[in-house]
Chains A and B, each alone.
Chain A
Amino acid sequence: MNIHNPLGGVELRALEIVRSLKDQEGPLLPILHALQEEFGHVPQSVLPLIGKELNLSRAEVHGVMTFYHDFRAEPAGRHVLKLCRAEACQSMGGEAFTESVRAALGIDWHETTPDGRVTLEPVYCLGLCSCAPAAMLDDELIGRADLAAVKAALAEAGQ
């Protein structure tokens, strides 16, 4: 970039992370993971900085970031609920299950409840096909999931 812009706090912290990982082989994915870990999302203002540090264009970084649905450009709610929509879960009543959760939370895919508590994401296979339908709240898997199980898990997770 030609124009001299002083960097903000987020960018400076991000730059520290990028520089600590850039010498790895294939550093871009580890960097995106680390940024998401740090900020809960990958701030878009950081992508050009990553490009500059790794000698990539910002388009390339954007291409990689958008390829992986797990990287988010905006912060999520305090909890992320993922519902599996892959074949095995669909065959075990997954559609009705996901429909019931969406209705109960009052939000659609990729949306966050107005109180900022839960973000709902579809996922295509959690590797838990034997216990389909499957869901995951934050890092906890839920097998044989139904609305009641999801509600219970949310209650346990708290605000």
Chain B
Amino acid sequence: MSLIHEIDYGTPASKSEKTVTLTIDGREITVPEGTSLMRASMEAGIQVPKLCATDMVDAFGSCRLCLVEIEGRNGTPASCTTPVAQGLVVHTQTERLKAIRKGVMELYISDHPLDCLTCAANGDCELQDMAGAVGLRDVRYGYEGDNHVKARDGVGETNARWMPKDESNPYFTYDPAKCIVCSRCVRACEEVQGTFALTIEGRGFDSRVSPGMHEDFLSSECVSCGACVQACPTATLTEKSVIEIGQPEHSAVTTCAYCGVGCSFKAEMRGEELVRMVPWKDGKANRGHSCVKGRFAWGYATHRDRILNPMIRESIDQPWREVSWEEALTYTAREFSRIQKQYGRDSVGGITSSRCTNEETYLVQKLIRAGFGNNNVDTCARVCHSPTGYGLGQTFGTSAGTQDFDSVEHTDVVIVIGANPTDGHPVFGSRLKKRLRQGAKLIVIDPRRIDLVDGPHVKADYHLPLRPGTNVAIVTALAHVIVTEGLYNEAFIRERCDWSEFQDWAEFVAEKRHSPEEIEKLSGVPADLIRGAARLYATGGNGAIYYGLGVTEHSQGSTTVMAIANLAMATGNIGRKGVGVNPLRGQNNVQGSCDMGSFPHELPGYRHISDDATRDVFEKLWGVKLNNEPGLRIPNMLDAAVEGTFKGIYIQGEDILQSDPDTHHVSAGLAAMECVVVQDLFLNETANYAHVFLPGSTFLEKDGTFTNAERRINRVRKVISPKNGYGDWEVTQELAKAMGLNWNYSHPSEIMAEIAATTPSFANVTYEMLDEKGSVQWPCNEKFPEGSPIMHVDGFVRGRGKFIRTEYVATDEKTGPRFPLLLTTGRILSQYNVGAQTRRTENTAWHAEDRLEIHPHDAENRGIREGDWVRLTSRAGDTSLRALITDRVAPGVVYTTFHHPDTQANVITTDFSDWATNCPEYKVTAVQVSPSNGPSEWQEDYSELSRRSRRIAGKMEAAE
């Protein structure tokens, strides 16, 4: 294995289909029109010296190193800014060019330190390479003049031009002394990330890279995506891990284990030590971009809190006892068998993880169906995107988004509803912002003024700040405008959908009670905004809808998903590039875990458990009889536990105590069980109630696949041996063996082969194919051998698209005198989900605690000042956290994140849930906010319980 070197073509690829032919250094080459001479040269294998050009950003033409001579043209144009033309004859190396380049390099080096041997970029420095390439041997100007390099001049005077290193960012340093002001970082921040946190301040010799207004990186607008570090040709911006460890020597392409975007990274290694993660240019989800989590926040893999030995205890008030793998697995198998004998076959179940690989998820549901002999399997998608599965399944016929992420490059009008891409799905957020800067229109439907509404070079054309819980009403009102104003696409509907169903739906939405004027009364959104947004979406060209948990986590989550699907069908925005309905999946493999049959009623590939033909396939392969009745969902398991009929659970990689609603109910359910098995990296909150702890492995320690939000199956590659001894798939397999099942997978590729053999939409997927193509989007089978970037191209999967009436029913969770405010929840860029991983990284520099966002008016009424402790009370419970006063939320609405277990935001949330799928209503809770002195009684009790239940016999308690 060696280090993967990606070719830098210097300027981005041209998308033109017309080609031109020219001659460079005697070689004839044909490239698309609009390609730069620099890129054309590189494609012919000729490297023109360069410093300010890199193919992640547009050409700039400032370094004057890439000059060339063109026959018949005057002067020495820069090859990065000069486009190819038919018949050009170009020379990249002439005596004249050599002299110019050497002179330019001499000037650069005269203001650059000569500490190459001890420099962190030694071996990975373009300045060093170029000095070599142009044959620099001497710097005639000396190093004594004005410079930015030395802190003091020869006689001890301080040098006003010199600036100290900025080490404020936890992951990289900025050393202005090494900067050549090529502005690649500034352009990467603008063009790739779209944050515009960097600029060049001053002019001439005074020019310096400045984060914000001459601030340090941490206090600037920087979001730490790492694009600038990647772009820097010198050691000016360098990962601290590289400074500490040195240059990597081998690498493997793998997939980030954070959000549903599924970015491809090169894991660059030195031995078994991860040096850095660098986004892979060929990654089709991220196209060479990254965010702070995937790029930098992987330190949790070696965090001291990680549990590496299996542990058991008979009851949860005892300390944990470290045991061998064999003892832990035998104990677990014996307990499950005892419980099933005592309480019946259905008294146990399991939860698959959206964080684990497809192969691991498949094994867990197989263990439950084939080993436990019931269908009591569910997954954390229950609490996030189960309404997507249901809603899109009903209307289109598949439970997945319709597009690939590249599709956003062809979009003209984007609706973002109930999602905050710049925080939750940052790499997609950057790609969306790039399209918006090119002129696409934006409609944001969100109670909060998210960053996309108004920020540098981004401004929503419409922001509909609806009251939490009124999604269905708003989307139906949009449909009302489209239908009553005749903006629907009749040809599309007649061809692809059922016309009579459309007419029925159209009649329903056209009713006066769905008009924007009526809906304004209950949603608080001015009618003219609703009308304007509807007209823009219906008539503005390619319309795409992106949505998140703000849509699904409601009592009418499934209804909203169907309403969105109706909108897309009515306007013909399905089945081609630039359109579609796109759920932004929360977790790295939530799509995959749903695909793999994690729901109690579905076998892999979304086939109902009652379908005899499907069951037959698995029964024959597994050699068991499968139950044809759906099993219990997570909330039902907990209910049954409280009632005393459900006694044992195997939970792989999910922290239900923290992530599921109504924490009191979850803890009561877990406490009532006799054998709770938790498989995770850390002693998570759920483990406080566990009897067996099986240490899990990180994504760096196993092979497998993740499926992202665009149905893309990406490879996960093992770069480190599992510190706990086993990959998670091996742990499940060992448990299955301990339970007497004859499983003998020697590699995850064999599990994928079983998935492909049993699941039609995965029929052609193999590891060989993934290695060759990089990734593939399902369905991938005989009909779509290359996979399916866009779905429903020639017609809907279910046959004809189905319009469904979407009646708005207000949630039972209502405000009143006791609870006058509506709480909604979300997440923040630097933290991820319940924070188990990101809290164990330096990302806490950005978000050390959950804060309650409250409007100045509501704060003033209650005498709350910025930073005060406040008590947040709902019908379900109360908690305390500190206030953040902001007008991003409307009066009457408060907002918080749920990344920190101390806050326990889900103590507050209620047990209301989606009517179709039980997806909890996280996004609406009626609350009261009042000043408080500090943590609530529950928080203090819980903190004590956590401390006690995390004791490990023979080990000192970790000092927090």
Contact = CB atoms under 8 A, between A and B. Distances in A.
A56 B456 contact: yes
A51 B456 contact: yes
A56 to B, nearest CB: 6
B856 interface: yes
Contact of A59 (B199, B856, B866, B886): B199
A66 interface: yes
Interface stretch (B206-214, B796-804, B869-877): B206-214
Contacts of B201: 62-63, 66-67
A59 B209 CA distance: 10
B292 to A, nearest CB: 17
A47 interface: yes
B88 interface: no
B202 A59 contact: no
A27 to B, nearest CB: 14
A59 B211 contact: yes
Interface stretch (B146-154, B171-179, B190-198, B483-491): B190-198
B212 A4 contact: no
B334 interface: no
A117 interface: no
Interface residues of B, number: 29
A62 B214 CA distance: 8
A58 to B, nearest CB: 5
B887 interface: yes
Given A4-B866, A55-B455, A55-B458, A63 B200 contact: yes
B324 interface: no
Interface in A47-83: 47-48, 51-52, 55-63, 66-67, 69
A91 interface: no
Contacts of B211: 59
Contacts of B213: 44, 47-48, 58-59, 61-62
B866 A3 contact: yes
Given A2-B888, A66-B201, A56 B196 contact: yes
A111 B454 CA distance: 40
Contact of B886 (A4, A44, A57, A60): A4
B435 interface: no
B607 interface: no
B885 A62 contact: no
Contacts of A61: 213
B459 interface: yes
Contact of B202 (A4, A44, A67): A67
B199 A63 contact: yes
A61 B456 CA distance: 11
Contacts of B884: 2-3
Contact of A57 (B195, B866, B885): B195
Nearest to A63: B199
A67 B203 contact: yes
A155 B196 CA distance: 48
Interface string A32-52: 000000000000100110011
B455 A59 contact: no
Contacts of A48: 213
Contacts of B455: 55
A57 B221 contact: yes
Nearest to B885: A4
Given A55-B454, A55-B455, A60 B885 contact: no
B138 to A, nearest CB: 29
Contact of A56 (B200, B457, B856, B886): B457
Contact of B220 (A3, A47, A52, A59): A59
Interface in B438-490: 454-459
A124 B459 CA distance: 39
Nearest to B214: A62
8 A-B pairs closest in CB distance: A63-B199, A57-B196, A57-B456, A62-B213, A59-B199, A66-B201, A4-B885, A66-B202
Interface of B: 195-203, 210-214, 220-221, 454-459, 856, 866, 884-888
7 contacts: A2-B886, A3-B885, A3-B886, A56-B456, A59-B220, A66-B201, A69-B203
